[in-house]
Structures are given as C-alpha cells and as structure tokens.
C-alpha cells in the first residue's frame, strides 16, 4: 500500500518556487480538483481543450456522454510531434506518453464502482486476468496494489500486452474520491523496450502524482 503523501511533500511550493535557478520540471495541476504531478520540462503537453475537442469530434453517443463528465485532462510526451489521436488509442507509443483525467462519476457508477471497476477503466484487466480471450495476446499483470491518497483511494496496476506484435507496458493508477463522486485516472505507457529504457523517469512521474481532492 502506498501511503498518503504529506501535504508539504507535494506542494512545498514547487508550483511557485524554483529554488536556486530555473526548475527542470513542469508541474501540471488542477487546483480545483486537488490533482498535481510533475514531468520533465522538455516534454510536450496537450491541453484539456485540445483533448476535449478531439474526443467530441470523434465520439459515439456513449463516449460523448462520458466525455461531458470530464473536468480536466492533459497529456505529455517526450515526442515533440505527439498527436492528440495517440492519446486515445492503445497502440504502443514509441515515446513515453502520460495521460491524466479527472471526471465526475454518474450515480450508478458511484454506487457500483469497485476496485475491479477502477482497474478496468481503460483496459478490461479483470477479464484478461481471468483468461477471457479478448484478442489481447501476451497479457501480463506485473504489479497490482492499493493506493491511498488524501482525497481518494484505488488501485495501481502495471501490466503489459502486445498489439500488432509490439509489446507495451502500462502504468495505470485509478482512484475514486472519498465521497465516491469523482474518478481520477493517471496513465504512463510506452512500448516495453521504451518503457524499460525510460523506467526511472516514468517511476518519478508516477510517484509525483498526488490527489488531495476538491476543496
């Protein structure tokens, strides 16, 4: 279990202060939702507006209904030419790709969501782990454990599978707010060879992810 991070650790005014010299990191945050993380300064970001626009233009009715619940979402990549479309596909990226989303839960979701529901928000992990053939070869769960934050709790799952013969590794943290009203999704993924090469910086990014919850 990952313990709750102290407020001072994540907010020691890294959002405002750079100490001696210029900061080497970016500190994306949704202050309204109490969500913070960091990425290297040279990574390329995709805004909430850009992601929302793409989703709305390419969604079906079900996706459109869910997208309307999104309060904040951003993405970052080492690829300076990263496209919004890459965020919304599970094809293995050749550069590390971070995706963060905060959205409201519907009434039925708030009532029914379990840890398995949180695992399955992006990939049907539960079914795949049970051996259901969904056409996803080489599926493996590498790590799986509870995450407890100040404003939410849930599951971190690191897993891998192959698409078109290319294996990718996904580091996913899915949390539900303490009042069961909000879903927090944090994903870093990359082709497994890329993930291995960038494992240290990926783990630093994941470790920086903090959910204090809306005030």
pTM here is: 0.86
pLDDT at 154 over 90: yes
pLDDT at 42 over 90: yes
The CATH number of domain 31-211, selected from 3.40.1000.10, 3.20.20.140, 3.60.20.10, 1.20.1560.10: 3.40.1000.10
Percent of the chain residues past pLDDT 90, beyond the cut: 78
Dihedral pair phi/psi, residue 20, rounded to 5°: -90, 105
- Residue 21's pLDDT is what? 52
Q: Which ranges in the chain belong to alpha helices (H)? A: 7-11, 48-58, 61-67, 84-87, 107-112, 115-119, 125-129, 192-197, 199-208
Record the tokens describing residue 14, joined without a space. Answer: 């890294």
As a whole number, the mean pLDDT across the chain is 88
C-alpha 176, offset from chain centre: 13
- Residue 11's pLDDT is what? 39
Average pLDDT estimate for 53-72: 78
């Amino acid at each position: 279990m990952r313990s709750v991070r102290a407020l001072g650790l994540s907010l020691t005014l890294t959002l405002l202060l750079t100490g001696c010299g210029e900061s080497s990191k970016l500190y994306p945050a949704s202050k309204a939702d109490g969500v913070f993380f960091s990425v290297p300064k040279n990574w390329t970001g995709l805004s909430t507006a850009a992601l929302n626009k793409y989703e709305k233009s390419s969604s079906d009715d079900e996706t459109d209904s869910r997208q309307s619940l999104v309060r904040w979402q951003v993405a970052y990549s080492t690829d300076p030419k990263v496209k919004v479309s890459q965020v919304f596909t599970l094809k293995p990226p050749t550069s590390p790709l971070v995706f963060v989303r905060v959205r409201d839960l519907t009434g039925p979701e708030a009532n029914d969501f379990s840890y398995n529901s949180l695992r399955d928000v992006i990939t049907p992990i539960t079914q795949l782990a049970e051996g259901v053939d969904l056409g996803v070869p080489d599926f493996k769960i590498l790590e799986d454990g509870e995450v407890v934050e100040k404003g939410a709790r849930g599951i971190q799952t690191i897993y891998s599978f192959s698409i078109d013969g290319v294996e990718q590794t996904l580091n996913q943290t899915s949390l539900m707010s303490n009042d069961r009203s909000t879903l927090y999704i944090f994903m870093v993924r990359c082709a497994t060879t890329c993930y291995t090469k960038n494992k240290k910086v990926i783990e630093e990014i994941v470790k920086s992810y903090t959910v204090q919850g809306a005030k």
